[in-house]
């Protein structure tokens, strides 16, 4: 639960990802266009993919991840614009986000995207679809394209150093862009996608029901937390990830409380967001609990940057939704094992 793995030059991908998020947010802050920050924020997730791959593989992987993210953001903003009131109803959001989670998990599996699963796409779709006042469509999509292009450029930036350079040519790119999926692997992707449909749907239903009864929102945080335990090489590993998600969130909320007590300016929040992003990527492959300590203030600082709301409300909602989502995710992970044991008996 609390052991930490060895470092494997994690500061390099962490710096790439942090830079890909920091530069767009800083530009939008200085130009007074924080209404576009949510599109920049999620488009910057492109840099997370292809973490330790050679340049040719990283470029192809990140291009695919960026294309999928652009499609998700476009779908989310179109759904929001076509919905009554300019934002998706909470119950409709649960249904639509669950379908997106299922579809993206299949695409990510067949495209061999790493990190695996559809966590980032769930977060992006539900968050954008719930924004009541959308910026002009062309500005939002242009922001997404530019940030994705920036992340692709940063992904191959280390080629300027001869010692870090790996082959990169049209011939090499054409060779690695072909994906070979064995029948057994394809079948496993479809089987595992069921969890990405069931877990977000149950977590979203529970969070929406409890939220309407207790007067809080952000049901998609529960949906995001529910898919965290679905990624892992064993049931024990998946359960551990779910527990680490809750514990890391609790500690991260304490850290965020200290930050918001100072009431930092917008440009200071951008710097803190970049620092948290660097810390999350530095630790995500080594210790999930510590990574979550960074992820929690990262996510909530981004929310405070885009829309000035009461910090205490965000802290309250984040904790309850995370507990609900993690509990549902653990149940979905444990259900097959329990069923097999009962069937054996």
Can you give the pLDDT at residue 167? 64
Segment-wise mean pLDDT, segments of 10 residues, the chain, 345 residues: 78 90 94 91 93 82 94 94 81 93 94 89 92 89 96 83 63 69 90 92 91 77 89 80 86 86 85 92 88 88 74 78 89 82 80
Cβ atoms < 10 Å from Cβ of 138 = 8
Instruction: Name which of 17, 123, 33 is nearest 69 in CA terms.
Output: 123
Question: What sign does the dihedral 29-35-41-46 (CA atoms) show?
Answer: negative
Locate 159 and state its tokens: 């080629």
Cβ atoms < 10 Å from Cβ of 191 = 10
Kind and range of the H or E run holding 74? helix 55-82
Neighbouring C-alpha atoms within 13 Å toward the C-beta of 259: 27
Q: Which residues of 74-104 are buried (b: 16+ CB within 10 A; e: fewer)?
A: bbbbebbeebeeebbebeebbebbbebbbbb
**pTM, full prediction:** 0.90
Can you give the pLDDT at residue 174? 64
Instruction: Name which of 59, 57, 58, 94 is nearest 79 in CA terms.
Output: 94
**pLDDT tens readout for residues 297-308:** 888 888 777 766
Spacing of C-alpha 190 from chain mean position: 21
d(CA 226, CA 326): 5
Average pLDDT, the chain: 86
Can you give the pLDDT at residue 161? 66
Can you give the pLDDT at residue 170? 61
Locate 167 and state its tokens: 């082959």
């Amino acid at each position: 639960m609390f052991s930490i793995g060895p470092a494997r030059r994690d500061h390099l991908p962490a710096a790439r990802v942090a830079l890909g998020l920091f530069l767009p947010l800083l530009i939008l802050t200085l130009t007074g266009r924080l209404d576009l920050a949510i599109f920049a924020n999620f488009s910057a997730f492109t840099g997370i993919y292809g973490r330790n791959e050679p340049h040719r593989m990283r470029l192809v992987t990140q291009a695919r991840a960026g294309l999928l993210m652009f499609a998700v953001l476009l779908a989310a903003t179109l759904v929001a614009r076509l919905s009554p009131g300019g934002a998706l109803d909470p119950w409709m959001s649960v249904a639509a986000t669950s379908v997106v989670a299922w579809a993206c998990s299949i695409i990510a599996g067949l495209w061999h995207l790493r990190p695996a699963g559809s966590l980032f796409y769930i977060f992006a779709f539900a968050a954008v679809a719930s924004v009541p006042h959308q910026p002009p469509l062309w500005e939002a999509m242009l922001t997404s394209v530019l940030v994705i292009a920036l992340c692709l450029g940063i992904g191959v930036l280390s080629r300027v150093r001869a010692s870090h350079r790996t082959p990169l040519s049209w011939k090499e790119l054409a060779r690695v862009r072909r994906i070979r999926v064995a029948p057994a692997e394809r079948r496993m992707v479809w089987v595992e996608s069921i969890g990405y449909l069931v877990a977000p749907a149950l977590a979203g239903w529970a969070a929406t029901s409890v939220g309407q009864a207790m007067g809080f929102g952000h049901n998609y945080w529960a949906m995001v937390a529910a898919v965290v335990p679905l990624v892992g090489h064993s049931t024990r590993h998946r359960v551990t990830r779910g527990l680490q998600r809750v514990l890391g969130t609790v500690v991260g909320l304490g850290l965020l409380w200290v930050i918001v007590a100072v009431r930092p300016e917008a440009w200071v929040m951008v710097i803190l967001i970049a620092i948290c992003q660097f810390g999350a990527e530095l630790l995500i492959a080594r210790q999930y609990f510590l990574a979550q300590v960074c992820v929690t203030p990262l996510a909530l600082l981004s929310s405070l940057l885009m829309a000035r709301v009461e910090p205490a409300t965000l802290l309250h909602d984040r904790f309850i939704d995370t507990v609900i989502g993690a509990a549902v995710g653990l149940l979905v992970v444990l259900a097959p094992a329990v069923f097999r044991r009962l069937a054996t008996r």
